[in-house]
Copies of this chain bind each other. A is one copy, B any other.
Amino acid sequence: MSVENERIGFIGLGIMGRPMAMNLVRAGFSVTVHNRTRAKERPLAEAGAKVAETPAEVARQSDVVVVMVPDTPDVQDVLVGPRGIADAAHRGLLVIDMSTISPDAEREMATVLEARGSDLLDAPVTGGDVGAQKATLTIMVGGKRSAYERALPILQAMGKSVHHVGPSGAGQSLKLCNQILCAVNMLGLSEALLLARRAEIDPQQFVDVLGGGAGGSWQLTNLGPKIVERQLDPGFMIRLMQKDLSLAQALASRLSVPLPGTAAVQQLYRGLEASEDGALGTQALILALERLGRPEPNRSS
């Protein structure tokens, strides 16, 4: 059977999953979808996908199942919960978990599926909703080499840069490293940009002059201008970054790696979540510094 003839299942049709599944349909794969909120299946059904009642039902109708849900417990529900994929896992089934979750939990589930003759790859992504729509995601894959090679044509329909980075869990671990870089670089950007503004430097010159030098970063070039223009909508939500940074800290705790910069960002985002700003984009970190550095308006009351 040629890989293009593999029947694909897709579970999780949110901001990321929906355009990713759509790209598989457009690439000519036979796709069966399922989403906890069933109404979200409709646009995929209209584009030609089949729908299934449960993750187990998706697994029964598929050779390869892609999972794209928010957090570790969601993946555990879909894979090993009641009416989950493991219930219907068959010899030769390949499951590709593209969610960002705990690498340790991923490895445990891989063991459960392997006992049933199925493979589990972790394949988290970066590139955001725009990357999901344009099929330009970077995909970091952990798991067996043979399973990676089988998954490759499917992953290439969703991303432009696909890498096998190690055994089960390695994709998740590297994704968490990426989130540390994004978060701490955003902290540096927020500190420097706020200082520049208070020192009466034109913030556009800050972006233009420093972006090309040793202080340059993707965060500065892409999110610096949004901060300058006060566009604080996501992009990538603070609430989801907090989830990822907690996963990074859990991994780092097990491996005895201190993450002081990451911890500082988490505390500042915690303050923003307390002010109900957790649905803003990660670039809203500058609000936390502004509030720390502002006199309390009601101190005398």
Contact = CB atoms under 8 A, between A and B. Distances in A.
Contacts of A169: 199
Contacts of A215: 126, 177-182, 185, 218
Copies assembled: 2
A268 B268 CA distance: 20
A117 interface: no
Given A214-B126, A218-B216, A222-B214, A251 B195 contact: yes
Interface residues of A, number: 71
A198 B255 contact: yes
A219 to B, nearest CB: 7
B163 A205 contact: yes
Contact of A181 (B140, B220, B262): B220
25 contacts: A163-B209, A165-B209, A169-B199, A170-B201, A173-B195, A174-B199, A174-B201, A177-B193, A177-B199, A178-B192, A178-B210, A179-B215, A181-B188, A184-B187, A185-B185, A187-B261, A191-B260, A191-B261, A195-B248, A195-B251, A214-B219, A256-B294, A258-B289, A261-B261, A261-B265
